A and B are shown apart, each in its own frame.
Chain A
Amino acid sequence: MRITCPYCGERALDEFTYRGDATVKRPDSLDENTAEAWVDYVYLRDNPAGPHKELWHHGAGCHAWLEVTRDTVTHEILDVAFARKGC
């Protein structure tokens, strides 16, 4: 598998580390009514068979966190973008 980093270009899989689902949103920790949302955010995953938006870190390159869209069945990489929006 090879990932095309927007900074560094196409690089080998072992330059990156994987974190997981990029679609989960961190709730507000000061809002006491977010208990369920926190369990969702930290522990529950859609884990789809098919396209999956996920976070990768280019640790052996530019150190950017990337949002990669990848098919979990074919391993085809459909899109790569910076996780930091507006970059």
Chain B
Amino acid sequence: MRYSIASLVANALTGNRNWKPVWREPEPKPAYDVVIVGGGGHGLATAHYLAKEHGITNVAVIDKSYLGSGNVGRNTTIVRSNYLLPENEPFYEWSMKLWEGLEQDLNYNTMVSQRGVLNVFHSDGQRDAFVRRGNAMLLHGADAQLLDREQVRTLVPFIDFDNARFPVRGGLLQPRGGTVRHDAVIWGYARSADTLGVDIIQNCAATGFRIENGRILGVETERGFIGAKTVALSVAGSSGRVAQMAGLRLPVESHALQAFVTEGIKPLLDTVITFGAGHFYCSQSDKGGLVFGGDIEGYNSYAQRGNLPAVEDVAEGGMALMPAIGRLRILRSWAGLLDMSMDGSPIMDHTPVEGLYFNGGWCYGGFKATPAAGWCFAHLIATGQPHPHATAYRFDRFGTGRVIDEKGVGAQPNLH
């Protein structure tokens, strides 16, 4: 059923009794052309683009829990393409362009809200680094603006301009950046993929891989063996333990990242803002809550929760930047599991097992990458060749030294 104001009215008049399930709940078939492990944003986007762009529809997406139970439903919903390095910027800018047309593509309102992403800076050195990045963005055809202190004040008047330990001296703004309603991304992709013939199978954990003579034959699952010519892993956060089942060691550690939301309030913050003297990023959801986060916990973890020091650190960053939020209350905190890669950039590549593809290592950047990750991973699966925007995301870069280290902190995942 196509969604529109007309369909809303028609259904309202019939007591909303005729809405159909957004996706089917099929039993797994014995075999598929492609089995995607992981029903998160990336997995479902991959299925959508495989079907829509490449006509590959004999596809199953399997997930160990409910759709979107991982990071796609646990992030702070920020989208942006404000990257420095030439290996990253075209990819994220492509993602931005896909976000911009997503609602029309999916016929689902994912609430892509291009309200701007503002990175404030606090020193001349930081300004110069931001200028370098802003110029890189412009050279790649993205958008960026350098704001002085007064322009920042116009955007966010209640920043601590008078009494700050690290005064705000300006900011780098990407006006096209913003937020997207994360759950809608899942449901929109799932609905579209399902409509195009993809089987979405929830509560079907992969328990192993059948590999013979270096070639993948399929996936062992809780609901039996599912044969597949191609198996695509899209399980960021759990990449370590899933890859282990295929005998792979990865340049990835799993880390937990907490996020927070306050009680709903009337409009306060009209942009996404990030603090430059600590790790704190914040936006206000359409429902009214401030949604924010900061650093990962810092230690390997498969527990979807964090500890108090990170909570305090985030709150301190928030108060240092915007002391007007002191009396607002956090009503919920949660955590997602990140694939923290060794250079802070993702991996999208073949594996040594023929027919087994890997997409992971997204660090903090997985959500904003969702459309392009799906697009490029589908391209890789369908053609066997990396998409031009994702050619650098290879496993072998760690051997050659062609690492993609935006922050310049080296092979220390918890610092990226």
A-to-B contact residues, CB < 8 Å: 1, 12-14, 17-21, 35-36, 39-40, 42-49, 52, 54, 70, 72-75
Contact = CB atoms under 8 A, between A and B. Distances in A.
A73 B304 CA distance: 9
B141 to A, nearest CB: 32
B217 interface: no
B55 to A, nearest CB: 36
B249 A44 contact: yes
Given A20-B414, A48-B240, A43 B398 contact: yes
Given A35-B399, A39-B398, A54 B249 contact: no
B414 A72 contact: no
A49 B299 contact: no
Chain B interface residue count: which class?
A: 20 to 34
Given A42-B411, A73-B303, A47 B399 contact: no
A45 B248 CA distance: 10
Contact of B309 (A14, A20, A42, A75): A14
B302 A20 contact: no
Contact of A75 (B301, B342, B399): B301
Contacts of A46: 240, 244, 249
Across the A-B interface, the 6 shortest Cβ-Cβ residue pairs = A47-B240, A14-B309, A43-B398, A43-B251, A18-B299, A49-B302
A48 B253 CA distance: 9
B358 to A, nearest CB: 14
Nearest to B398: A43
Interface string B300-330: 1111000111000000000000000000000
Contacts of A45: 240, 249-253
B414 A18 contact: yes
Nearest to A42: B411
Nearest to A41: B411
Nearest to A56: B299
A57 B210 CA distance: 41
B301 A44 contact: no
A19 B251 contact: no
Interface in B234-267: 239-241, 244, 249-254
Contacts of B365: none
A47 B300 contact: yes
B371 interface: no
A70 B299 contact: yes
B413 interface: yes
B210 to A, nearest CB: 22
Contacts of A70: 299
Given A35-B399, A42-B411, A49-B240, A17 B251 contact: no
30 contacts: A1-B307, A13-B309, A18-B299, A18-B414, A20-B413, A21-B300, A39-B399, A42-B342, A42-B398, A43-B342, A43-B411, A44-B250, A45-B249, A45-B250, A45-B253, A46-B244, A46-B249, A47-B244, A47-B250, A47-B252, A47-B254, A47-B300, A49-B240, A49-B241, A49-B302, A54-B300, A72-B302, A73-B302, A75-B301, A75-B303
Contacts of B301: 72, 75
A18 B297 CA distance: 10
A21 B398 CA distance: 18
Contacts of B308: 13
A12 B207 CA distance: 37
A54 B309 CA distance: 19
A36 to B, nearest CB: 8
A17 B309 CA distance: 12
B412 A19 contact: yes
A47 B398 contact: no
B412 A20 contact: yes
A51 to B, nearest CB: 11
Contacts of B299: 1, 18, 54, 70
B392 to A, nearest CB: 16
B233 to A, nearest CB: 14
Nearest to A46: B249
Nearest to A20: B253
Contacts of A36: 399
A13 B307 CA distance: 9
Interface string B274-309: 000000000000000000000000111111000111
Interface string B403-416: 00000000111100
Contacts of A73: 302-303
Nearest to A44: B249
B37 to A, nearest CB: 16
A18 B239 CA distance: 21
A19 B342 CA distance: 12
A74 to B, nearest CB: 7
